[in-house]
Chain A
Amino acid sequence: MRPPEHVMRLERMGSFHPMRLSFSRQLTRRMQQEQWQVDFPRFELDENGFGYAVIRAKTPHHTYSLVAFCHHIDDDMRSDRVIAEAWDATFTLFDGEPSLTQIKQMEQTVPVQEAGRQMPEQLSLSRANKSMRLFNHVVDALASGKQPDAKMINDVGYVMRTTAVYGNGKFGIADRKRIANRDGMMEPFQAEMLSVYLIRSFSLKWIEHMAQIRGGNNAVPLARQLARHMGVGNSTGLGMAPFLVNHPALLSNWIAVREQAIAIITSKTDIPDNAVQQIRALATRGMAYIAEWRVADTVQMDRITQLETEWQNVIAWLDQPQNWQQTQPLAAICAWAQDTLSMETQEMLYSIIMEPFGADIDDLCSDMSALERPVAANSCAVADMINWITRDYGWALDVDLNDPRQSDVFWYTSAAKLEPRLGKRYEEDGAEREMPFDIPRQIQSAMADLTQSDKDMSLPRFMMAYPQHRFILNRVLVTINAPYGEIRDNLVADTTRPIDMLRCKLSFFGAAKFDPKSDLWTRICLFQGAPLIDEITDDIADNWLFSALS
């Protein structure tokens, strides 16, 4: 496996792509394997498109219902920021099938989102705004009996964009514990992914409903190929970044599974012909995907341009029969990529070569969850801790804390709707309330006191004497068994790009068309190319990596 010091760098994490181990792929694969059924038992939207709907997903074991509420909002209220207070639609994933009484109760609490007290039967809470560029265009086109402009659909990718999908107990909804041991929900973020998949299904039905209202008999349904290419947008800001820092065991498991999958595949000595053909076909599809991936951000667009050039070389490599005759051909192409290609290209290559080997790697997904609990230190001494820090945190010990650039920013929670933000330490107030993400400073401070202490002292006694170090030392203890749990870059340095952390997490969600709007936030698309609700049991339902319209 690639070592943590190689993988856990922001630049590389910020180059990850969706893959078959991504949580959205895990969901659709399970839907297909278990023959889930999705329908709309209620669709109570009026002629303006306002009202509510229930989208039901029946699994062999449970039933889940997405309850959607659609509202009128004025244009000057529409914002993707956490600090927004009104949305075009709000949603909750209900555990089971809600009664009318429960729907009426949620009608009071779901539309106000954070301001409401939610019910413990709710597994997620989310909201979305219309893409004003695309929603009306699609409705108008369908209402007049035409299909919408395919280029516009590709450029935007969705008619609805979620701005938050909350889980795990937020605002009174169910704790993760409620479903953590349940078939189909054990792997991370499955309730959230199901919510988003059902939101996508709802958004497609919503536009057809509006087209029918406007166009009557002239209206036509959205062409299947266009509908399939319609995902759900998402605006993601800094909220995702603290998650990765606050859950080192979980992050480590995600990365470790990915690295294990890569190791399994690259060690293969005999690649079957059908796998070779599949990889080559996916590489060609990947080229079309890259060609459709266009963003305004110049840094990312430069990377895409380089990827586009390099991907031709990848295809050329794959097309050479002699390359497949090497002892470990996939190891060979990865070694070549690492020596000669950008990280963006290297990581896309890993996503492609995983694809034919589900039988070898899909079961690894069951290791992606983590039981997060405190680690006792009662069998450890100060000397042990010094050794662990020296071994695993050398990168943090090497940071020059006398350089103010190494402490240029601070992470904090704003009083405004608890929005996570990044402040400039030497320009803004609030650093005294910063989150504990200054890992190198904490490591160096703890190390200074550790080295001044009796090396035989028990670690718990040391932590009692120095409670200010308990947080970081607990973190070191956790990462002993979670080697990919720590991002090995200084997160408060002036060079930190939070967008890299967002992209890492989003790649595990399966997000495509990464579209950064600054170093702080991005738009992405989920479930683009995924099967529609009447296709989820088809054989091809798991074949939508790097889907392209062309």
Chain B
Amino acid sequence: MPLVSQNELGGLTEKAWRGLSVDCPVPWGLAKDSNIMVQWLASRGLGFADSLIECLAMVKENPMLAHENPLDSGVMIAPLHGLAMLDSILAEGMVWNGQIYGANFIMAGMGLLLDDDLANSRDNAARLTLSDADGIAAGWKDQMIRMRASMPSNGQYELRGGGHADRQANVSLTAPNSPPHNSTHAIDVNDAVWQQMQEHAQNSYVPENELSRNRGAGAGNIDND
């Protein structure tokens, strides 16, 4: 299993999304959201690989999934749309019901937005929850992200914004491992997962030819100056 840095994981994730399709590429902003969400999960020891690989495969099969608006379609690819979607939920205090793929990435989106709330001293009391048929699966509580011990990666969920602290009052949720900002550990990534991500990313690079090689920055290919 390769031991990779968080920055390396995020960067490759972003490139993997971008490499899925040249004709209908994943928008840069969503690919960059995925970069930071995957780092958030990995730095806390939370799983990301299976759902990320599954979502990459889905979008490779149907690139338009990245462009469709989950607010209209009722389908969300959380590793791409999660952060943007939660920002919308917060902005409008709304409720959204639909199918989520890669629901663990919702946790990352919640964490990142909570950081922003705390940094800007906003009232963040119980403004976000993720629920399924078994009740609340995750949410903000006591200035932390709380989550149920397990939750399906894919399924029908409700996202709710706005004040509803009472809904959380009696729910037993635990905080995920919440490292300080300077979490330093490297990430173990399965060989096959890393290989698949690299294969996707490869398509985001421009193939070399003699012209581009010669136009590259730097002295000649041999330089004994």
Chain A residues engaging chain B, CB cutoff 8 angstroms: 75-83, 117, 119-120, 129, 131-133, 168-178, 180-181, 235, 237-238, 371, 373-380, 412-416, 418-423, 428-430, 432-433, 436, 458-461, 463-465, 467-474, 498, 517-518, 520-521
Whether B204 is near chain A, meaning CB under 8 Å from some CB there, is yes
B87 and A377 form a contact (CB under 8 A): yes
Q: Produce 1/0 per residue, B207-222, CB < 8 A to A.
A: 1110111011111111
**B222 CB contacts on chain A under 8 angstroms:** 75-79
Q: Which 10 A-B pairs have the closest CB atoms?
A: A470-B29, A169-B5, A237-B217, A169-B7, A430-B206, A471-B29, A378-B91, A520-B217, A458-B91, A471-B28
Return 12 A-B CB contacts under 8 Å, by A number.
A77-B222, A80-B223, A169-B7, A373-B36, A376-B116, A412-B206, A413-B206, A416-B213, A423-B206, A432-B25, A458-B91, A461-B91
- Chain A CB within 8 A of B184 CB: yes
Partner pick for A120 among B5, B202, B225, CB 8 A cutoff: B5
Which B residues are CB-close (under 8 A) to A465? 69, 71
Select which of A169, A436, A458 is within 8 A of B6 by beta carbon: A169
Q: In the assembled complex, how far is the CB of residue B115 from the closest CB belonging to chain A, in whole angstroms?
A: 6
- Taking A75-B222, A433-B18, A467-B29 as known contacts, 5 extra A-B pairs with beta carbons closer than 8 A to each other, sorted by chain A number, are A119-B3, A132-B225, A415-B205, A468-B29, A470-B84
CB pair A177–B216 under 8 Å, yes or no, is no
Contacts of A77 on B, CB cut-off 8 Å?
222
How far is A547 from B66 in the complex, measured between Cα atoms in Å? 55
Interchain CB contact under 8 A, B36 and A175: no
Report if B183 contacts A (CB, 8 A).
Answer: yes
Across-interface contacts of A464 in B (CB, < 8 A): 69-71, 81, 84-85, 88
State whether B208 touches A120 (Cβ < 8 A). no
Specify the chain A residue showing the minimal Cβ separation from B5. Answer: A169
Q: Which residue of A lies closest to B37 (CB)?
A: A374
- Which B residues lie within 8 Å of A175 (CB)? 5-7, 184, 186
B213 near A172 (CB under 8 angstroms)? Answer: no
Interface string of B67-89 (1 = CB under 8 A from A): 10111000000000101110110
Inter-chain CA distance A429–B213, complex, in Å, is 13
* B224 part of interface (Cβ distance < 8 Å): yes
Say yes or no: A415 contacts B3, CB within 8 Å: no
Is B2 interfacial (CB 8 A cutoff)? yes
B177-211 vs A, Cβ < 8 Å mask (1 yes, 0 no):
00001111110000000000000001011111101
Q: Is the CB of A518 within 8 A of B182?
A: no
| Chain B hits for A172, CB < 8 A | 2-5, 8, 186
Question: Known contacts A428-B212, A464-B88; is A82 also within 8 Å of B33 by CB?
Answer: no
Q: How far is the CB of A96 from chain B (nearest CB, A)?
A: 13
Q: CA A287 – CA B30 in complex, angstroms?
A: 51
Kindly state the separation between the CA atoms of A520 and B117 in the bound complex, as whole angstroms.
Answer: 42
Is B90 located at the chain interface by the 8 A CB criterion? yes
Q: Does B32 contact A (CB under 8 A)?
A: yes
Residues of B within 8 A of A (CB): 2-8, 18, 22-23, 25, 27-30, 32-33, 36, 66-67, 69-71, 81, 83-85, 87-88, 90-92, 112-113, 115-117, 119-120, 122, 181-186, 202, 204-209, 211-213, 215-225
Rounded to whole Å, the gap between the CB of B16 and the closest CB of chain A is 13
Q: How far is the CA of A479 from the CA of B221 in the complex (A)?
A: 39
Contact residue among B182, B204, B215, B223 (Cβ-Cβ distance under 8 Å from A78): B223
Partner of B216, one of A421, A458, A463: A421
CB distance from B17 to the nearest CB of A (A): 12
Say yes or no: A133 contacts B219, CB within 8 Å: no
Closest to A413 in B: B205
- A375 and B84 CA atoms in complex are apart in Å by 11
Question: B184's contact among A174, A371, A521, by CB below 8 Å, is which?
Answer: A174
User: What is the bound-complex CA distance between A181 and B184, given in angstroms?
Assistant: 11
Q: Are B185 and A470 neighbours in the complex by a CB distance under 8 Å?
A: no
* B residues in contact with A81, CB < 8 Å: 216-219, 221, 223
Give the docked Cα–Cα distance between A418 and B216 (Å).
Answer: 11
- Given A414-B206, A460-B88, the answer on whether A428 and B211 have CB atoms closer than 8 Å is yes
Q: Are A461 and B88 in touch, CB under 8 angstroms?
A: yes
B36→A174 contact, CB < 8 A: no
B219–A181 CB distance below 8 A: no
Are B90 and A378 interface neighbours, CB within 8 A? yes
Establish whether residues B2 and A117, one from each chain, have CB atoms under 8 Å apart when the complex forms: yes
A78 touches B224 (CB 8 A): yes
Q: Which residues of B contact A420 (CB under 8 A)?
A: 217
Q: Which residue on A lies nearest to B120, using beta carbons?
A: A376
Q: Given B22, B29, B67, which contacts A463 in the complex, CB threshold below 8 Å?
A: B29
Residue contact B91 to A414, C-beta cutoff 8 Å: no
List, in ascending order, chain B residues with CB within 8 A of A376's CB: 87, 90, 113, 116-117, 120
Known contacts being A169-B8, A464-B84, is A474 close to B225, with CB within 8 Å? no
| Complex-state Cα separation, A537 to B116, whole angstroms | 43
User: Known contacts A237-B217, A470-B29, A517-B219: does B8 contact A460 (CB below 8 Å)?
Assistant: no
A471–B32 touching, CB < 8 Å: yes
Residues of the A chain whose Cβ atoms lie less than 8 Å from the Cβ of B25 = 432
Report which residue of A81, A175, A520 has the largest number of chain B beta carbons within 10 angstroms of its beta carbon: A175
- Say which residue of B33, B69, B212 sits within 8 Å of A414 (CB atoms): B212
CB neighbours of B29 from chain A (8 A): 463, 467-474
Residues of A within 8 A of B87 (CB): 376-378, 460, 463
- Complex formed: what's the CA distance from A120 to B219 in Å? 32
A287 to B33 CA separation, bound complex (whole angstroms): 50
Q: A75-B222, A172-B5, A374-B36 are in contact. Are A177 and B183 (CB under 8 A)?
A: yes
Chain A residues lying within 8 Å of B217, measured Cβ to Cβ, are 81, 237-238, 419-422, 498, 518, 520-521
